[in-house]
Structure 1
Amino acid sequence: MNNQKYTDGNKHILVTASALTLSLVAIGFVASDYLNIDPKAIIEQADGISTEAGMNAGLTSQDEQFRSIEKRLNELTLLAANNYQNISDRESADKIKSLEAQMAQLLAQKDIDDAARRASRIEISNLQEAANDPYLRQQFVKANSLHRERQLEAVEELFVAEDIDPKWGPQTQERLERSLAENEDFFAQILDMQCRTSVCRVDVAVPPEVLPPEGEELQESSAAQLDTDISLLSSVTLDMPTAFMSRMPDGAGGYSYRFYLYREGYDSPQVPHPMKGMSLGDIRNYLENL
């Protein structure tokens, strides 16, 4: 039984030592290609870690044999380091330094990316928390409403300041009036229409009798409101698809709409949203102080 254990242990050492010897030979070839180290020097050192030497050195245990192998490997590592200091091919040395610098750069970038991902997860968590806050949701609607008012003011100011193109303005107005009169799907009443140089302003009224039945009055983002808005938009913008629209109650149960229809190549002025580009913390502060 003891002889069998001794034989199995020797076989284990034989396999391990052989694998280490092959690894050192491979290291010799790599060192020759990149560092101009003579592979013979490493291979000669590796010869000391042979199966026969390991088996017949009179070592009393596997631990001592492995410690001997580890010692020889450390000696070979030191040999490679000493030869590196004396290599003649500086280009190879510079290449290795360049690769090391690239690796350091990649590791640094990984740290930056990891930090960005952590910050993003925190931002998403805070955003979800804010979205579930009823007060902040209410303030967000208020902020969008105020921005919409500023946008409408900018559009109206530009329209009022614009001169009338004597050729394009009257012709376009006549074409729009004829198009709406012939459109069977247009259910509103035209109150006013003016065309200038780049834009036409069209005011229409939707009387109560053509609105949805009682109990389905137009409410912000309601299905009835969207259906009415879309129907009017599709009729009014049939010939001039670039438009800006506003809607408000007329005080008599109906609604009045104002459309700005833009000439080809023109568009409405854009007022930047005050929350655009803000961090979540800045948005929260802005909404709370609105």
Structure 2
Amino acid sequence: MEKLQHIIRDVDSGNRIDKILSTINKEWSRTQVQDWIKDGLVLVNGNKIKANYKCNLNDVIEVTIPDAVELDVVPEAMDLDIYYEDKDVIVVNKPRGMVVHPAPGHTSGTLVNGLLAHCNDLSGINGVMRPGIVHRIDKDTSGLLMVAKNDVAHESLVDQLVKKSVTRKYQAVVHGVIPHDYGTVDAPIGRDKQDRQRMAVVDNGKHAVTHFRIIERFNNYTHIECELETGRTHQIRVHMKYIGYPLAGDPKYGPKRTLPFNGQVLHAGVLGFNHPRTGEYLEFSAPLPEDFSTLLQQLKNDR
């Protein structure tokens, strides 16, 4: 473990210690510093403090920097569809059927396994099983994900998600013919009281908003674009079911009789965010996967 000492000067007096330390070294994110404080690795004048401690002139800060934790996830070489990459961020197009990160029952073949083989420098904020992962899409949802290569980038991207400044647009096919061209679902989402493995619209759930527009109508189905204002688990799937138009192919929230598709017909096609280092707005678009396009053509032919 490496140790560092810093003495508070006039310019930093009165500021929070977590803010001060995250500016001393640009590679230290505020979240990382807060974890160190919680673990007792940051002392002020020899005493443990809380992250909201406001420093005084001539305070002596001692930081014990923990050794890097070896990842338990095994890197696996795979052909990743990378749309953008620099020293801070990777944007990758995840295929349908791939799990984002290891979990019980899925310890290999995940996007994280592939990313670790591609590059070793991923953010550690989300722990050793989910390095670099800022947000997720379901196994059977295809499309774009942003991945942080360091903790500072991770913190910036998460902050943008919290502030709802990230653009996330999905295409989906739902059961039923939606009569109106546009709509918004504003309904809280939480665990389903009858089935804890599912999410549902519940009174005490987390705030969730989905905007949608019609792309094309078919016999008994509608092709739509959904834009997320928030990012709750299974949000689009839950919201569309809630208003009576569940996603086609969805084994968890859709009807038993549905289109012959291996999983929900859902693709994260547009992703936009401000670069965590430069502030430049970046936006990426991924075309529909072949099976999605084939399904749309079949629906057109059946009209």
Report the TM range for the smaller structure's normalisation: under 0.3
Structure number with higher strand proportion: 2
TM (norm. structure 2) is 0.20
TM (norm. structure 1) is 0.21
Structure number with higher helix proportion: 1
